[in-house]
Amino acid sequence: MSMSSSAPREIVRVDCPDDVGLIHRITGVLQDHRLNIESNHEFVDGDARHFFFRAEVTAAAAAIAGGTLHADLAAVLPPGARVRVTREDRRPIVVCATREPHCLGELLLLDAVGELPGRIVAVAANHDDLRGLVARFGVPFHHVPHEGVSRAAHEAALGQVIDAHAPAYVVLARYMRILSAAFVARYAGRLLNIHHSFLPAFAGASPYRQAFARGVKLIGATAHFVTADLDAGPIIAQDVIPVDHTFTPERMAQAGRDVEKLVLARAVRLVLEERVFVHGLRTVVFG
């Protein structure tokens, strides 16, 4: 089927217990809706006996009836299936930061040049240091100080700022505050973090000094979903770079910042493009 470049594109995601003929059932529904599959990925976790599917589809004419498609897919899938149909679009995100500019700056730059599959609609920070950087990109900046207030009061103020912008996701770009379980639950599945370590090694504070003390030869960064367990959420993306005995903790941290910003940007892209499936403590990521 020939598609015009202006045809709306939808992303169809399915994950469910594995069963015989799932791809045939799914593609049959897509055919009934006169949808063309432009790309697709599928994977079966043999140990968990679980099936994962992602496809980008376009229609020959008119808008895709997402609600009907969702229902028709669910009707042919096993009990417990999760179906998601979303329009490919630059969805809004709010970025939370503290004082370090590298991760935030990378995301702002990618957004400004149209290389981020999302829109940074606001930045919230518990310090005012990054206001000037954010202003250069014309993005609203909210200073939500934590000094002199309880954690509950600070998180209530931060949540109010975030919710005012109705983001699809909230990205912690070196936001150096431990969040309460209640706050994490408020944005469950929508809260991304970058940790300056190749988790699960060197969790918590000062990972580069921990790494230096152990004489490691690789340092890295981990982007993950935030859960109530500190630095233990499902991992989205990771990378490492080599170091050696000549690296001081400070030089190691500088090198780490370079990998952090790239890993976080990659994770944000993957999530916004609906390429990440969370299954228990693990993820399935279609690149």
The CATH code of the domain that includes 164 is 3.40.50.170
Asked whether residue 97 falls in the same domain as residue 220, the answer is yes
Q: How much of the chain, in percent, has pLDDT values that exceed 70?
A: 92
Asked whether residue 54 falls in the same domain as residue 131, the answer is no
Which residue, 72, 87, 102, sits at the end of a domain? 87
User: Please, which pLDDT band fits residue 198 given cuts at 50, 70 and 90?
Assistant: low
In this structure, what token pair is assigned to residue 49? 């006996």
Asked whether residue 45 falls in the same domain as residue 100, the answer is no
pLDDT (0 to 100) of residue 61: 65
| Number of domains comprising the chain | 2
Per the CB < 8 A criterion, the answer to whether 193 and 224 are in contact is yes
User: Please, which pLDDT band fits residue 168 given cuts at 50, 70 and 90?
Assistant: very high
pLDDT (0 to 100) of residue 1: 36
pLDDT at 204 over 60: yes
Asked whether residue 144 falls in the same domain as residue 251, the answer is yes
The reply to whether 3 falls in a domain is no
pLDDT (0 to 100) of residue 112: 97
The reply to whether 2 falls in a domain is no
Asked whether residue 24 falls in the same domain as residue 78, the answer is yes
Asked whether residue 148 falls in the same domain as residue 269, the answer is yes
Among 163, 231, 244, 258, which one carries the catalytic annotation? 231
Comparing 24-38, 95-109, 111-125, 237-251, which segment has the lowest mean pLDDT?
Answer: 237-251
Tell me, yes or no, if 32 is annotated catalytic. Answer: no
Asked whether residue 82 falls in the same domain as residue 96, the answer is no
pLDDT tens profile 42-92: 999 999 999 999 999 998 765 555 569 999 999 999 999 999 999 989 999
pLDDT (0 to 100) of residue 131: 98
Rounded to the nearest angstrom, the gap between the alpha carbon of residue 226 and the centroid of all alpha carbons in its chain is 10
User: Please, which pLDDT band fits residue 2 given cuts at 50, 70 and 90?
Assistant: very low
The reply to whether 190 falls in a domain is yes
Comparing 85-94, 147-156, 211-220, 277-286, which segment has the lowest mean pLDDT?
Answer: 211-220
pLDDT (0 to 100) of residue 211: 76
pLDDT at 255 over 60: yes
Summary mean pLDDT of the chain = 91
The reply to whether 4 falls in a domain is no
User: Please, which pLDDT band fits residue 3 given cuts at 50, 70 and 90?
Assistant: very low
The reply to whether 244 falls in a domain is yes
Asked whether residue 76 falls in the same domain as residue 119, the answer is no
Asked whether residue 174 falls in the same domain as residue 145, the answer is yes
Asked whether residue 236 falls in the same domain as residue 158, the answer is yes
Asked whether residue 107 falls in the same domain as residue 21, the answer is no
The reply to whether 265 falls in a domain is yes
The reply to whether 220 falls in a domain is yes
The reply to whether 255 falls in a domain is yes
Instruction: Find the CATH number of the domain harbouring 71.
Output: 3.30.70.260
Which residue, 71, 87, 103, sits at the end of a domain? 87
pLDDT tens profile 121-155: 999 999 999 999 999 999 999 999 999 999 999 99
Range of the domain at 37: 9-87
For residues 188 and 197, which has the higher predicted lDDT (pLDDT)? Answer: 188
Answer whether 0.75 is exceeded by the pTM: yes
Which residue, 69, 87, 105, sits at the end of a domain? 87
Asked whether residue 63 falls in the same domain as residue 162, the answer is no
For residues 287 and 54, which has the higher predicted lDDT (pLDDT)? Answer: 54
